[in-house]
Amino acid sequence: MGTSVFLEDLDAFAYREALASGEAIVLIPVGSLEQHGPHLPLGTDTILSTHFAQAVATRLGALVAQPIAYGYKSQQKSGGGNHLCGTTSLDGASLIGVARNLVKSFLNQGVRHVVFVNGHFENYQFLYEGIDLALEELGIGPGAKPSVLLLSYWDFVTPDTLAQVYPGGFPGWEIEHGGVLETSLMLYLEPGRVAMDRVVDGPAAVLPRFDRLPVVPDRTPDTGCLSSAAGSSAAKGELLHGQVVDDLVMDLANELVREPAGVPA
């Protein structure tokens, strides 16, 4: 069990050895339990963020913590809406609380850098707040050695990759819910958990420029997906995964291992 990157698998003594250098990096995948249409499993966001974290950790010599497997409420413009059966969510205070506790707990143990790898659009600001509150409580301000990074994996997809994955033009990240990106990644990483025969093709959802609450349910397609997964393929998934992992590794290595000018050493 000593060779796993997953904290779940390590015993406490092996873990302490991993922290002994004072430079340990722990990645925390964050996802959701959320409807992703008829062709993808409810755990898609958690599954994907865990895969990215695992791949990055393997190459960086980092560790992967248990994922935050429930995310903030699905919003209609990015996830179809929290009213949809199968979508099981946390409110803001709970997600803030979980992130805040994990940051405090890991940094107090001697972890040098904590990295949240987000896979569910709606989580971002609540994770940010949890991190910020934790650092304030710990008295960690500019110039301190420990740090926390927060990222969503799709922010590392390059324009080149996008052009190859969406030859007809990229519809925008917000409606990439159960669409080509997630489906292709799942086809490459977890083919047994995708049912391409259940994909319903059709035009992308057209949603207002505002959020309306309570939601108007008719605005979400019956599938629960905001754009079609019809053009997905394992090859696209491989491309996406490879490029994003490369970029994540490059950026995290530059930032946390090589430590650029201006960054505490």
Q: What is the dihedral of CA 233, 87, 53, 26, to 10 degrees?
A: 180
d(CA 51, CA 6): 11
Q: To the nearest whole angstrom, how small is the minimum distance from the Cβ of residue 62 to a second copy?
A: 14
d(CA 248, CA 258): 14
251 binds a second copy (CB under 8 A): yes
**x/- string (CB under 8 A) for a second copy, residues 1-30?**
x----xxxxxxxx-xx--x-----------
Task: Restricting to residues 221-240, name those near a second copy by CB under 8 A.
Answer: 224
Q: To the nearest whole angstrom, how small is the minimum distance from the Cβ of residue 43 to a second copy?
A: 3
59 binds a second copy (CB under 8 A): no
144 binds a second copy (CB under 8 A): yes
| Catalytic (active site) residue 51 | no
User: Coil, strand, or helix at residue 35?
Assistant: coil
Gyration radius from the chain CA atoms: 19
Helix (H) or strand (E) holding 180, with range, is helix 180-189
User: Coil, strand, or helix at residue 217?
Assistant: helix
Q: To the nearest whole angstrom, how small is the minimum distance from the Cβ of residue 130 to a second copy?
A: 9
**x/- string (CB under 8 A) for a second copy, residues 70-109?**
x-xx-x------xxxxxxxxxxxxx-xxx-xxx--xx--x
Instruction: Please name every residue paired with 114 in a beta bridge, in sequence order, or none if there are none.
Output: 26, 148
| Catalytic (active site) residue 36 | yes
| Catalytic (active site) residue 241 | no
Residue 188 contacts residue 241 (beta carbons within 8 Å): yes
Among residues 39, 51, 113, 120, the one annotated as catalytic is 120
Number of residues that bind a second copy (CB under 8 A): 101
What amino acid positions are annotated as catalytic residues?
A: 34, 36, 45, 120, 122, 177, 182
